[in-house]
Amino acid sequence: MTPAAGAPAKFHDISLRVSYGDTDKAGVVYYANYLRYFERGRTELLRSLGVSYRDLEIEHGIVMPVVEASCRYLAPCRYDDLVVVRSWISALEAASLTVRNEVFIRENDDLSKVAEGFTRHAVLNSLWRPTRIPEDVRRRLSGEGG
């Protein structure tokens, strides 16, 4: 998977350890927890671009709820695995954005992909109506700086 043409190519990786609470009775990561991993990756990606959810809400009066999500599972993660979540913005529209994610298990220097997917977010104002992404935020999200 690679960023779409015309979309920012800034990848951001975070590492996390699978906790016991993330797993089901069989000892594998419960399927819905991959969406939590996507959320953590997205939050840190935005932070690395100079955008925080808190500032979006307080300074700009906007929220970005998930309006679509997808995850394709390729292999299981288990308790205590070291996981890398790679995230990037694959689409930046007037009032929405899409973040792609890949999840890997890290073993020594090797990465083995175990899941991939995306979340699409509407950009809404305080009345929960679609609104344009503020220009200063758009510049940061597109990798042009702030």
Q: Which residues are catalytic?
A: 24
Q: Are strands 110-122 and 96-107 parallel, antiparallel or unpaired?
A: antiparallel
Distance CA 52, CA 11 (A): 17
Which residue reads 């890997």 in tokens? Answer: 104
Could you tell me how many helices (H) and strands (E) the chain has, helices first? Answer: 3, 5
DSSP H helices in 77-134: none
Residue in the block written with tokens 């959320």: 39
Least Cα distance to 88 among 49, 145, 34, 32 occurs for 49
105: left (phi over 0), alpha (psi -120 to 50) or beta: beta
